[in-house]
Amino acid sequence: MGKVNRQEILDVLKGYDKENITIATLGSHTSLHILKGAKKEGFKTAVVCEKGREVPYKRFKVADEYIIVDKFSDIVNDDVQEKLRAMNSIVVPHGSFVAYAGLDRIEDDFNVPMFGNRDILRWESERDLERKLMIESNIRIPRKFTDPSEIDRTVMIKFPGARGGRGYFVASTPEEFHQKIDSMLKREWIGEEDVENAHIEEYVSGCNYCIHYFYSALNDEVELMGMDSRYESNIDGLTRIPAKDQLDVALDPSYVITGNHPVVMRESLLSQVFEIGDNLVEGAKKLVAPGMSGPFCMQSLCTDDLEIVVFEMSARIDGGTNTFMDSSPYSYLLFGENMSMGRRIAREIKNGIESDRLDILIT
């Protein structure tokens, strides 16, 4: 638990003019529809923007206020926090916010009310905590191998840190593992310390579905908001080369996300989808008080046995929600109006203000 304590944040919130709340975020990742959605729900909006990166926010006209900083990480500086509080801001965290601000600063120094549970952000960032949360939640995840000598099937090898899947590789025997590690060390794609920290897991052969949920703490309900699949470089380009030629080209696969496709699942799989979301919310309640709140995403592979295996999760809004800035088939089913994830967050904050329960949505 960080040094920013709940009471301090509640005190800041108490001082806010509830008729005049600003929804603010860092200008990157999913901020376009976070801000657009906030405006649709009648809020003022502010974007904290790195100098030179204002163009999309100006051209799409989603922000009322701009706080221009030299670098993204300045969002945690005292003067920026001061400006945000002066605007009665509630900050919506997203992947870039977490990456640039840093977990330590968010937990220890960021004294601005944030939407959702700030303590859960560490649980999605650290692989061991993430696995613990999924296991506690009874979610099917890829089997983990603790030592290369145990490799008895096709496995995927991952390295620590967010490097967009660069250097991940697939192997089927201990010999193949060591052979590929040696060649990657020679190329300096990885270092000796990476080898010790290599994470080995069962390779799941299936189709990719990233499932976007919203847990409403006000209604105690898990909502299915949308789904996307990833468009990754260079693997999605490599697969356009015929298999026989793939063997001849000296290219190694990488899994750097460059975009997202909207997707829907077979309707018969949706019961499994709701079960996964409900289970995660139950697990999070036990491990990370006060539990999940707001958007989360389960990144999965669906096998030909129609089993959904979750290989990664986001405990905040995920980039794939950009595939439904207006609506997804699922958010349409639920709301019957244009509902992006950004707008859903703003709707929850609005409902919280109207029912005088904003405190349970904020940390």
Which residue ranges make up the site for ligand AMP (CB under 6 A)? Answer: 142, 156, 165, 168, 201-204, 208, 230, 232, 255, 299, 301, 311-312
Smallest gap from Cβ 152 to ligand AMP, in A, equals 15
For ligand AMP, the closer of residues 126 and 354 by Cβ is 126
| Residue for token pair 């693997």 | 235
Quick one: 157 exposed, middle or buried, by C-beta within 10 A (0-12, 13-18, 19+)?
A: buried
Smallest gap from Cβ 154 to ligand AMP, in A, equals 9
Smallest gap from Cβ 230 to ligand AMP, in A, equals 5
Smallest gap from Cβ 50 to ligand AMP, in A, equals 25
For ligand AMP, the closer of residues 208 and 340 by Cβ is 208
For ligand AMP, the closer of residues 137 and 293 by Cβ is 137
Question: How far apart, in Å, are the Cα atoms of 332 and each of 37, 129, 140, 326, 344?
Answer: 15, 34, 28, 9, 12
Helix runs in the chain, H state only: 6-15, 31-40, 55-59, 78-86, 95-101, 103-108, 121-125, 127-136, 174-186, 192-196, 235-238, 243-246, 270-287, 329-335, 341-354
Smallest gap from Cβ 260 to ligand AMP, in A, equals 11
Residues contacting 90, CB < 8 A, separation 6+: 21, 22, 23, 24, 113, 114, 115, 349, 362
- Measured N-to-C along each axis, helices 341-354 and 31-40 cross at an angle, to the nearest 10 degrees, of 40
For ligand AMP, the closer of residues 72 and 255 by Cβ is 255
For ligand AMP, the closer of residues 137 and 299 by Cβ is 299
Task: Return the C-alpha torsion angle 203, 204, 205, 209, nearest 10.
Answer: -130
Smallest gap from Cβ 163 to ligand AMP, in A, equals 8
Smallest gap from Cβ 31 to ligand AMP, in A, equals 21
For ligand AMP, the closer of residues 145 and 324 by Cβ is 145
- The answer to whether the beta carbons of residues 217 and 360 sit under 8 Å apart is yes
Pairing, β 169-171 against β 155-158: antiparallel
Smallest gap from Cβ 184 to ligand AMP, in A, equals 16
For ligand AMP, the closer of residues 35 and 302 by Cβ is 302
Residue length of the chain: 363
- Measured N-to-C along each axis, helices 270-287 and 127-136 cross at an angle, to the nearest 10 degrees, of 110
For ligand AMP, the closer of residues 160 and 191 by Cβ is 160
Smallest gap from Cβ 208 to ligand AMP, in A, equals 5
Task: Return the C-alpha torsion angle 102, 108, 113, 117, nearest 10.
Answer: 70
For ligand AMP, the closer of residues 208 and 293 by Cβ is 208
How far is it, in rounded angstroms, from Cα 282 to Cα 284?
6
How far is it, in rounded angstroms, from Cα 44 to Cα 7?
25
